[in-house]
């Protein structure tokens, strides 16, 4: 029962416009990078803090690209189709 409910909610999140699950991947990477920055700074490990900063930056850029691809591009396509009518 629980598996079916979770499966349905996951499927609905992927197809529903309020889900935006795709762009969450970049946010997760950015969050992991932020944690690495904190751990590196707390342990006075410079290489870990720098690596965490790079990972966080890549995650933020990835989030923007994924958001644009998964949300904005589809929205602009719909608007273009409406303007043509």
Residue 33: closest CA among 61, 63, 53, 62: 53
- 2 within a domain of the structure (yes/no): no
Domain count along the chain = 1
In a domain, 51, yes or no: yes
Q: Which H or E element spans position 37?
A: helix 21-42
Q: Which residues 6+ apart lie within 8 Å of 64 measured at CB?
A: 26
Does a structural domain hold residue 10?
no
Q: Is the pLDDT of residue 81 over 80?
A: yes
Q: What is the pLDDT of residue 36?
A: 92
Evaluate whether residue 67 is within a structural domain. Answer: yes
**Does any domain span residue 12?**
no
CA distance 73 to 85: 19
pLDDT digits (tens, 9 = 90+) for 16-59: 555 456 667 788 888 999 999 999 989 888 899 999 999 999 98
Which residues touch 24 (CB under 8 Å, ≥6 apart)? none
78 within domain boundaries: yes
Residue 4: inside a domain, yes or no? no
The domain in which residue 43 lies consists of 22-84
């Amino acid at each position: 029962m629980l598996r079916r409910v979770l499966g349905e909610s996951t499927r609905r999140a992927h197809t529903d416009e309020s889900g935006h699950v795709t762009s969450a991947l970049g946010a997760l990477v950015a969050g992991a990078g932020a944690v690495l920055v904190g751990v590196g700074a707390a342990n006075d490990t410079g290489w870990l803090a720098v690596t965490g900063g790079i990972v966080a930056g890549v995650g933020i850029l990835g989030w923007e690209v994924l958001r644009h691809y998964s949300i904005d591009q589809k929205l602009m396509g719909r608007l273009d189709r409406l303007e043509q009518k």
